[in-house]
Amino acid sequence: MSLIFQPSANIARLKESATLAVAAKARALKAAGLDIIDLGAGEPDFDTPAFIREAATAAITAGATRYTATEGILPLREAIAADANRLLAHGPPITAAEVVVSSGSKQSLYNACVCCFGPGDEVLIPSPAWTSYYEMVELARAVSVPVFGEEANDLKVTAAQLAAAATPRTKGLMLNSPSNPTGAVYTQDELSAILTLAAERGWWVLADEIYLRIAYEGGARSALEVATTRDNLIVINGVAKAYAMTGWRIGWTIAPVAVSRAMTAFQSHTTSNAAAVSQHAALAALGRPQEADEAVHHMVREFQRRRDAVMAVLSAYPTVRYVHPAGAFYLYINVAGFRGAADAGAAFAAAVLEEHQVAVVPGSAFLTPDWIRASYATSESVAVAGFTRIARCLTGA
Ligand code: GLU
């Protein structure tokens, strides 16, 4: 008997990741010989620093080829705790017992969603937000509640807006600064107001800080620098963005011990430990802060140069509006009204790809269809060429 696949109730409403879909499409067009400028991918274009690659090679030679503890090797968890303690402003030092290493911050976010949220729970998502937050919350069978920021506030959401969207079923919120997709950075006061509200209401805060080190003009504050309690705080981070290690797949959570135990148990049934060799590579990144800081500062300076270059391009097109890019490596550009389309972002993304060979992500992926996201994590000349084409497509110049 032939079986016709009917998606289970678990994934009946699941949509493929739009960010990864754009990246795959750009790769396919390039492979077909088209000269595509790919501003879709949210991925540093640098090589992983040499000392990290060398540490990984040495680890393989030394036999790091077997299972590790599900929650990760102890020296890495200790190095992550030590790194986080550099930021910590209140409370007892973070210990390795609060750290769970996973196969990427995406998995850590998902572990946290599954373990903290369940059927009927509502989760506030300051929006626009990274496409996978909505899906992860729904995969945990909770309800995602987008809360939209104002353009005048760089699309950031205030504590008052979150309070207004809350109900007795609110169980937590996702926090992401610097923000993907907008590049906006929450100030210390903004973070403090949100964290205080969450602590008062007993909400979980899932603080995704994957872009924390990629911030300009005074940097970005971690929730660890601001929170007065860690009882309701789960900080998610990883090596992918700051250390140009996307393919190594190493992320982690810093969470109360009971939550960390639950996430370890969950992960023990899904993926077990993250790749052993990748954990040793991450150990080099976190355990050798001097070399790592030098590499990170070099990359961040380079991102800033490219950001300034593309802002200079856009300054010649004063009608083009975008969120001030204070961190990460994205520009979030308003394309409302583009050729009269209802989904202006999708129409613009299709047009700029077809007519100007530039790949960008439509804002509908982040629940804001009047916008598009373009990444400047590419060489300065390619970024300048790409943003020039974007501006021409948008203004008809
Ligand atoms: N976080 C990156 C992005 O938004 C990587 C792709 C993904 O996993 O979504 O483009």
Q: Which of 14-18, 135-139, 350-354 has the lowest mean pLDDT?
A: 14-18
Among 194, 213, 214, 215, CA closest to 205: 194
Question: How far is 83 from 86, CA to CA, in rounded Å?
Answer: 5
The whole-number pLDDT of residue 397 equals 79
The whole-number pLDDT of residue 23 equals 86
Q: Is the CB of 146 under 6 A from ligand 1?
A: no
Which residue has the CA at smallest separation from atom 10 of ligand 1?
Answer: 42
For ligand 1, what atom is nearest to the CA of residue 41? 10
Given a cut of 90, whether residue 136 has pLDDT beyond it is yes
Please check whether residue 240 is in contact with residue 104, taking contact to mean a CB–CB distance below 8 angstroms.
Answer: yes
Given a cut of 90, whether residue 25 has pLDDT beyond it is no
Ligand 1 mean position, distance from CA 361 (Å): 10
Residues 296-306: pLDDT tens digits? 999 999 999 99
Ligand 1 mean position, distance from CA 20 (Å): 6
Residues 363-396: pLDDT tens digits? 999 999 999 999 999 999 999 999 999 999 999 9
Q: Is the CB of 19 under 6 A from ligand 1?
A: yes
Domains of the chain are 18-47+292-395 (3.90.1150.10), 62-287 (3.40.640.10)
**What distances in angstroms separate CA 92 from CA 84, 86, 100, one per listed residue?**
12, 12, 18
Which residue has the CA at smallest separation from atom 5 of ligand 1?
Answer: 42
**DSSP label at 178?**
S
Question: How far is 140 from 133, CA to CA, in rounded Å?
Answer: 11
Q: Which two tokens stand for residue 32?
A: 């077909």
Which residue has the CA at smallest separation from atom 2 of ligand 1?
Answer: 42
Ligand 1 mean position, distance from CA 19 (Å): 5
Residues 84-129: pLDDT tens digits? 999 998 999 999 999 999 999 999 999 999 999 999 999 999 999 9
Q: Is the CB of 279 under 6 A from ligand 1?
A: no
The whole-number pLDDT of residue 22 equals 86
Residues 199-249: pLDDT tens digits? 999 999 999 999 999 999 989 999 999 999 999 999 999 999 999 999 999
pLDDT-derived band at 19 (thresholds 50, 70, 90) equals confident
Q: Is the CB of 182 under 6 A from ligand 1?
A: no
Please check whether residue 199 is in contact with residue 232, taking contact to mean a CB–CB distance below 8 angstroms.
Answer: yes
Residues 276-292: pLDDT tens digits? 999 999 999 999 999 99
Q: Best substitution site from 25, 103, 130 to test ligand 1's pocket, by max atoms within 8 Å of Cβ?
A: 130
Residues 150-171: pLDDT tens digits? 999 999 999 999 999 999 999 9
Is the entire prediction scored with pTM above 0.85?
A: yes
Q: Which two tokens stand for residue 319?
A: 């009608």
Q: Best substitution site from 15, 16, 17, 19 to test ligand 1's pocket, by max atoms within 8 Å of Cβ?
A: 19
